[in-house]
Structure 1
């Protein structure tokens, strides 16, 4: 399965979610490749920092910040169980290519009305991609949610009426993610028995259930 994390709005946590999903699946014994399709190359930087520190290689990271990922990602997918694409912000050509490559598109949004408005352009690109890939599945994922905030609840309720729908799993606003990133690690490597690690595991489980039920190829 090829999972792309995409949103034209920057700063919504695409790279964090992409790295942690790839790491979670790798920790379960899956063969995983992460495609860094963001010209900023944050996922590649994270991978190189791990290598310099002598940390174990959990999954492959490939830089592919060009508009040919819809041709190259399926080739990379042949030798692995999952491909995760860390998508670019506001680069339409790269975004369209990632959309055409994906089986499942995750659109991370923060609990804010501004994120909802910014998603309209992203949804237009999803609709365009479905002209060529009618089986393309898309889901919102609420990220960086404050615990029990009214805004998070209202955002979830608003997205529940949307197509695409929102995933049930939400990811909290947790300092553990920033601390792990600075160390070139994943939250599960530091401590699997934390809310952050449990949320990532639940997100991976929910995505795999989509695959099992045929919602994604």
Structure 2
């Protein structure tokens, strides 16, 4: 059983999109639970849209808040091969409990100074979580990258200085991701952007290696 928390203390980094793609691709390999622990409930809305489509398989989706993410999530996750928790957008009780439940935290991050500041804040939260969950692994995913700029290279240098485990895959800002989520799908299922498909499959290969 593997529990992933896709978490960030900053919005707008593609956190929910990352969680939904990860959970759906894991569902192709085995029974998968998706916990929506974000008060905005975007993952739960996506799950509702997906029920109206022919796309499958789907992760089983449930909403949990705050301490429930650990107490109820621990009980529920025991019945699944994989669990993905979508949580955060800010430092919250739910985010902290998700980090206690997770085996691996996937941290999407953009390439701006605000993202760098948010990462510094999140690392403090992670260190507290590791006091109680010492086996928690942390992997950083650079997202919403604009390949026309050098911002990604600067962020990679910053993350290297922090000695973080940064995934080789970088996910660019692409319309296909927004379109897929809005249709209750993932980019492979709508099939309009080969680059988006290649990036998300490369990400999946890395985190499941």
- Whether TM-score is above 0.5 comes out as yes
Q: In the alignment, which residue of structure 2 is the partner of 1:92?
A: 92
- Give structure 1 regions of 4+ aligned residues with deviation exceeding 6 angstroms: none
Bigger share in strand: 2
Q: Are the equivalent residues in 1 in contact too, given 2:176–2:192 (CA < 8 A)?
A: no
Deviations 1:15-54 (A, max 9, x none): 0000001112223x32211100001100100111122346
Q: Are the equivalent residues in 1 in contact too, given 2:9–2:122 (CA < 8 A)?
A: yes
* Counterparts of residues 149-160 of structure 1 (less than 5 Å): 149-160=149-160
* Counterparts of residues 73-152 of structure 1 (less than 5 Å): 73-147=73-147, 149-152=149-152
Deviations 1:127-186 (A, max 9, x none): 001111111111211001112521011111221221433111111111100111222211
Distance 1:31 1:163 in 2: 34
Q: Are the equivalent residues in 1 in contact too, given 2:19–2:85 (CA < 8 A)?
A: yes
Q: In the alignment, which residue of structure 2 is the partner of 1:24?
A: 25
> Is 1:46 matched with 2:46?
yes
TM-score, structure 2 length as denominator?
0.92
Q: In the alignment, which residue of structure 2 is the partner of 1:70?
A: 70
C-alpha RMSD over aligned residues: 1.7
Distance 1:38 1:203 in 2: 22
TM-score, structure 1 length as denominator?
0.89
Distance 2:27 2:99 in 1: 23
Q: In the alignment, which residue of structure 2 is the partner of 1:12?
A: 13
Q: Are the equivalent residues in 2 in contact too, given 1:12–1:143 (CA < 8 A)?
A: yes
Deviations 1:61-82 (A, max 9, x none): 1111222212222322222221
Q: Are the equivalent residues in 2 in contact too, given 1:39–1:65 (CA < 8 A)?
A: yes
Q: Are the equivalent residues in 2 in contact too, given 1:76–1:83 (CA < 8 A)?
A: no
Residue ranges of structure 1 left out of the alignment (5+ in a row) = 210-217
Query: How many residues are paired up?
Result: 208
| 3-state SS in 1 of match to 2:157 | helix
Cα 1:206–1:55, aligned 2, differ >3 Å: closer, same or farther? closer
Distance 2:183 2:5 in 1: 25
Distance 1:161 1:127 in 2: 17
Following superposition, the deviation at residue 192 of structure 1 comes to 8.2
